[in-house]
Amino acid sequence: MSSQSVARPKAGAYETVGEKTNLPGRKTAANIMEKVLFLATASAILVLLALAWDILSSGAGWLSLHLLTDVPSRKAEIAGMRPAILGTFWVIGLTALIAFPVGVGAAIYLEEYAPNNRWTRLLKLNIANLAGVPSVVYGLLGLGVFVSLLNLGRTVISGALTLALLILPVVIIASQEAIRAVPSSLRQAAYALGATRWQVARDHVLPAATPGILTGIILSISRAIGETAPLLVVGAAAYVTFNPSGLTSRYTVIPMQIYEWARRPQAEFSNLSAAAIIVLLVVLLLLNGLAILLRQRASAKVRW
């Protein structure tokens, strides 16, 4: 409607403004697409809810304090998973300590230092490929290198090193994305003041990229915490009745405990494994919550 028009248009004159257009058709298509996209979202949520309901209905009744504080037993009523919970904290903690500095360091090198040539591109491509390698393959690698060749045995450190290798590509790629998203004007400003590459990376690129890097770290922890296959290969034990005592201790982790209980024929044990899954999910949510808290604190430090 033109504001310059002298006479006010009559009611109903708003319906067709000028010539007939294809607008009705476009509106229909837009409405249909909105519903299709909503269905896609809803189906994912529905499946998740169904799974959660299934687990909660069979496992919730078996949740108890002694499940967290007792050791496994052949009797389902008194069986606990304390060694598995502690084992998961040991292994995941160590995995994080190994994978994050190495992964973030590699990402800084690739984005801030490496020359943009054929070798760098080949390296980046292969890191992306590594992220797609099945986890059991990392287990075999860990068995060959850490357990046998380095003679670390079937210990916490072997498991952590194997999981660290597994999540390293994910950490590197996520950190690279976060570093690449830092505006180049920020780097230019810092370089123009006579800063070295490291000063630019340390004081500007990393602080600005930290929230994004932490998002990648959340994803990689979520992956590592649920892994069973590689740890099965590098010798996490299935039935452990003692706490892990150090780097060279034998150990088990929550997914192994779930697997161990789930494969038993008795119904009580399959309910127990559902309870253990709930515990695993809670541990996962706690760790992710911690990472999200760190991410928020990091975001607050950068004052966009």
Part in contact with another protein (CB under 8 A); list of ranges 22-30, 37-45, 155-163, 201-209: 201-209
Site stretch for another protein (CB under 8 A), options 121-129, 203-211, 230-238, 284-292: 203-211
Residue closer to another protein (CB basis): 52 or 189:
189
Instruction: Give the binding range for another protein (CB under 8 A) out of 8-16, 74-82, 199-207, 245-253.
Output: 199-207
Sign of CA dihedral 17, 18, 23, 25: positive
CB of 195 to another protein, least distance (A): 5
Segment lying near another protein (by CB under 8 A), choices 15-23, 65-73, 165-173, 191-199: 191-199
Q: Does residue 190 belong to the site contacting another protein (CB under 8 A)?
A: yes
Using CB under 8 A as the binding rule, whether residue 191 contacts another protein is answered as yes
- Residue of 1, 7, 149, 193 that binds another protein (CB under 8 A): 193
Within 13 Å of residue 98, how many CA atoms lie on the same side as its CB? 21
Task: Rule CB under 8 A: say whether 194 interacts with another protein.
Answer: yes
Residue 65 interacts with another protein (CB under 8 A): yes or no: no
Question: Which is nearer to another protein, 189 or 286 (by Cβ)?
Answer: 189
Give contact residues for another protein (rule: CB under 8 A).
116, 183, 185-196, 199, 203-204, 207-208, 302-304
